[in-house]
Amino acid sequence: KAGVTQTPRYLIKTRGQQVTLSCSPISGHRSVSWYQQTPGQGLQFLFEYFSETQRNKGNFPGRFSGRQFSNSRSEMNVSTLELGDSALYLCASRPLAGGASSYEQYFGPGTRLTVT
């Protein structure tokens, strides 16, 4: 099975702009979660989607949003970019079925966003 894919892998944006990141989960996985990784704050949960609905959200401002499509692919959007949004954004998928293994999240390679 192909792993989680994320596009683009690298992105450079200017303060005030907006950005959209894309994630394709492992085939058959219905849940997609997003995490932000920075040197200062570490790995932090952004949100989780399944059945095209946001199910859980971390402590991030409303500038961070996302959506999930019927094929389970997901996008996240950051509006009005700030310098502090520079980070590695990681997407993870899990199957939702299969007992305890449904809680195993598999991560993509990430999108490295630089805001200048």
Partner 1 sequence: AQKVTQAQTEISVVEKEDVTLDCVYETRDTTYYLFWYKQPPSGELVFLIRRNSFDEQNEISGRYSWNFQKSTSSFNFTITASQVVDSAVYFCALSEARNTGFQKLVFGTGTRLLVSP
Distance CA 49, CA 57 (A): 9
At closest approach, how far in Å is the CB of 9 from partner 1?
Answer: 9
The neighbour count for residue 53, using CB atoms within 10 Å, is 9
CA 115 to chain centre: 17
CA 64 to chain centre: 10
Q: Which of 27, 56, 71, 114 binds partner 1 (CB under 8 A)?
A: 56
CB closer to partner 1 out of 24 and 31: 31
Which residues of this chain interact with partner 1, rule CB under 8 A? 31, 33, 35, 42-45, 48, 50, 55-56, 58, 88, 90, 92, 94, 96, 100-101, 103-110, 112
